[in-house]
Chains A and B, each alone.
Chain A
Amino acid sequence: MARFTAEAGSARLFWLRGGRLATGLVSLAVTLLGLLAFTFTLSHLSPVDPVLQIAGDHASESTYAQVRSELGLDQPLLMQFWHYLTHLAHGDLGISRLTNSPVASDLLRTFPATIELATCSMIFGAFFGIVLALVAAWKPGSLVDNLARLVSLLGYSVPVFWLGLLGLLLFYAVLHWSAGPGRLDDIWIYTLEPKTGLVLIDSWLSGDPEMFRNAVAHLWLPVVVLGLLAMAGITRLLRAALLEESSKEYVTLARAKGASRGRILLLHVFPNVRGTLITVLALSYATLLEGSVLTETVFAWPGVGRYMTTALFASDTPAILGSTLLIGGCFILLNALADALTYLTDPRTR
């Protein structure tokens, strides 16, 4: 922990305790602005000329110029960026060329599905990841430890889309334990009332037990596949943190008091890796959100990931950039949240 706080301290020499929250927010704003600048730049690199898209290929020069000025493309870049930001503030992310509806509403529609998958996988991965890391750190070098390291190494190295495909092959095609791709079977997909967008909750609320069971049958496989990935990362990093803490002096003193290894691990070492744990969990969640582009394609899960890949194949620029903003924004927010939580739960900073 000392290493982390030292690292953080050296970068934050000028911050007073009171203004730390404010400065943190400023930092967050700057990072988000950076992301926006990036997507803005990308939109200008689009191979598809937006003017021609509207005016048509055979438009005359004057029509071209007119449409161009309507779109605001003849203004200086900074002005355009400002317009971009103000549009964003009003929730205007452009119109998807594929669905012909506003990108913002498309994203709103698909985001809950991604959140549902990511959250369930996170719970699975966090639970098994923490347990496995504790068991491994309890007796370093033992068979259990080596097995844990092997499992986490494999999970860390496996391509998620491949694992998902093999999972579908085994559990859907061969064993029929999973209901396969998608969130619900076709029979229910049109009768489901999308109240929250989360299929588990919506199917529970609909009162039809068959529908709920079907939702679970569809959900469990992608959750386990993604969860194993999350678990691998969490075990790997948490175990390293636990072992590093275990070499500290206070652990020797605890042993000198007569505390057993298990007690030391749980009651002495574990509270000290709280900061790393929060960070690891936040990063896992962010990685799951980011990996949604791959997993949702494999499992035909109607979330933001699949929305983005469909947009990619169709060169639907506003949709691509809108999804990038959403996922990138979540990533940045999770980073900031982890930092804030680590700071707030450290008794040394109270």
Chain B
Amino acid sequence: MPTDSTPLVVADNLTISSAAGVALVKNISFTLGRERVALVGESGSGKSLTARSLMGLLSPALHLQASTLSVAGENALTLSESRWSQLRGSRLAMVMQDPKYALNPMRTIGWQVAEPLKLHARLSRAEIKEKVCEMLDAVGLPQPAQLMQRYPHQLSGGMGQRVMLAIALIADPQFLIADEPTSALDHAMRDQVLALIRRLVEQRNMGLLLISHDLQQVSEHCERVMVMYQGNILDTLPAANLPQATHPYTRTLWSCRPSKATQGKPLPTLDRAALEAYREHD
């Protein structure tokens, strides 16, 4: 596939406010291409909302405004619901946090993984079945033919997350949004799943937006990092530069990771007053 340099997502002055007028995401701007970008922040920083807005999945109670919001080459501000339905799954895809809740408890795995193909591709039943098996295999799940007949409650967390990945990638999208994909998994699984996401995204030359609150995880698997705090993007830097970050918030997040070096010592905490003062200067 030739390298496409046109950005997949362009957001300019993106603001998301609640029905009462409170701004939850304040005037952020960013560009995403075929690269692996992480969006990091505490809970309530607005990262999930930003991600949802890129797929048109914001709750109708929230109000979206932007001078530009271009997603997969389309103007996301004026898209009709039917056009969104065409884009979602085929050009944009999402992996969510907890497979226990994100997978339909009443449908077999096979049915759920096949659905994007049924919606976006014109294939015969046999072809669909073949592709589903292929995809389940590609995400590292054993015995795909039997797995297709199972139900979500019969799977472990790690397996469920791989199924979600299969659902997201089966229709060959250009861009994947992973909303805290490993938060519901145990530690051993996290690295495996993230490595899998990274591998598949690289193989298919896709763009990735990884939402996380774990800076460590992000630094290992992503190329670029955007740091959000209370609705603003405070810092954008290459992942390799995280240890040398200049912004006080980023520095604190980075240095408060527990490790062998910090064993026995109190971890640094964020001086929010200083942070507010710093922001006021900006």
Are chains A and B touching in the complex at the 8 Å CB cutoff? yes
Q: Is A337 an interface residue when CB atoms closer than 8 A count as contact?
A: no
The answer to whether B164 and A258 have CB atoms under 8 Å apart is no
The answer to whether B102 and A249 have CB atoms under 8 Å apart is yes
The answer to whether A272 and B105 have CB atoms under 8 Å apart is yes
- A250 vs B111: C-alpha distance in the bound complex, in angstroms? 14
Which residue of B86, B98, B104, B151 is within 8 Å of A348 (Cβ)? B151
Give the Cβ gap from B253 to chain A, nearest Cβ, in Å.
28
Number of A interface residues at 8 Å Cβ cutoff, please give it. Answer: 20
Give the Cβ gap from A232 to chain B, nearest Cβ, in Å.
27
Chain B residues closer than 8 Å to A1, beta-carbon distance: 105
Give the Cβ gap from B258 to chain A, nearest Cβ, in Å.
30
Give the Cβ gap from B9 to chain A, nearest Cβ, in Å.
15
- A261 vs B56: C-alpha distance in the bound complex, in angstroms? 14
- A254 vs B106: C-alpha distance in the bound complex, in angstroms? 13
Q: Is B256 an interface residue when CB atoms closer than 8 A count as contact?
A: no
- A292 vs B193: C-alpha distance in the bound complex, in angstroms? 60
Give the Cβ gap from A253 to chain B, nearest Cβ, in Å.
5
- A248 vs B96: C-alpha distance in the bound complex, in angstroms? 12
Q: Is B153 an interface residue when CB atoms closer than 8 A count as contact?
A: yes
Chain B residues closer than 8 Å to A17, beta-carbon distance: none
User: Which of B39-47, B87-95, B201-209, B244-252 forms contacts with chain A?
Assistant: B87-95
**Given that A249-B98, A250-B101, A348-B151 are known contacts, is A258 also in contact with B85, CB under 8 Å in the complex?**
yes
The answer to whether B153 and A271 have CB atoms under 8 Å apart is no
Give the Cβ gap from B122 to chain A, nearest Cβ, in Å.
14
* Docked complex: B173-204 residues within 8 A CB-CB of A: none
- A271 vs B106: C-alpha distance in the bound complex, in angstroms? 6
Category for how many chain B residues contact A: 20 to 34
Q: Is B119 an interface residue when CB atoms closer than 8 A count as contact?
A: yes
Q: Is B103 an interface residue when CB atoms closer than 8 A count as contact?
A: yes
Q: Is A274 an interface residue when CB atoms closer than 8 A count as contact?
A: yes
Give the Cβ gap from B266 to chain A, nearest Cβ, in Å.
37
Closest to A274 in B: B106
Q: Mark A249-274, 1 if CB is under 8 A from B, else 0.
A: 11011111111110000001001101
**Given that A253-B164, A256-B93 are known contacts, is A248 also in contact with B106, CB under 8 Å in the complex?**
no
- A259 vs B104: C-alpha distance in the bound complex, in angstroms? 13
Chain A residues closer than 8 Å to B92, beta-carbon distance: 256
Chain A residues closer than 8 Å to B115, beta-carbon distance: 254, 257, 259
**Given that A252-B96, A253-B94 are known contacts, is A260 also in contact with B85, CB under 8 Å in the complex?**
yes
Chain A residues closer than 8 Å to B104, beta-carbon distance: 250, 254, 268, 271-272
Chain A residues closer than 8 Å to B90, beta-carbon distance: 258
Q: Mark B136-173, 1 if CB is under 8 A from A, else 0.
A: 00000000000000010100000000001001100000
Which residue of A258, A268, A347 is within 8 Å of B116 (Cβ)? A258
Chain B residues closer than 8 Å to A253, beta-carbon distance: 94, 96, 102-103, 164, 167
Q: Is B120 an interface residue when CB atoms closer than 8 A count as contact?
A: yes
- A261 vs B80: C-alpha distance in the bound complex, in angstroms? 13
The answer to whether B107 and A256 have CB atoms under 8 Å apart is no
The answer to whether A249 and B101 have CB atoms under 8 Å apart is yes
Closest to B120 in A: A258
**Given that A249-B98, A253-B164, A256-B89 are known contacts, is A268 also in contact with B153, CB under 8 Å in the complex?**
no
Q: Interface on B for A, CB 8 Å cutoff?
A: 55, 57, 81-82, 84-90, 92-94, 96, 98, 101-107, 115-116, 119-120, 151, 153, 164, 167-168
Add 8 more A-B contacts to A256-B57, A347-B105 (CB < 8 A): A252-B96, A253-B94, A256-B55, A256-B89, A258-B85, A258-B90, A259-B89, A272-B105
A–B complex contacts, Cβ < 8 Å, 19 sampled = A249-B96, A249-B102, A250-B102, A250-B104, A253-B102, A253-B103, A255-B57, A255-B85, A256-B89, A256-B96, A257-B88, A258-B88, A258-B89, A258-B119, A258-B120, A261-B81, A268-B104, A272-B104, A347-B106
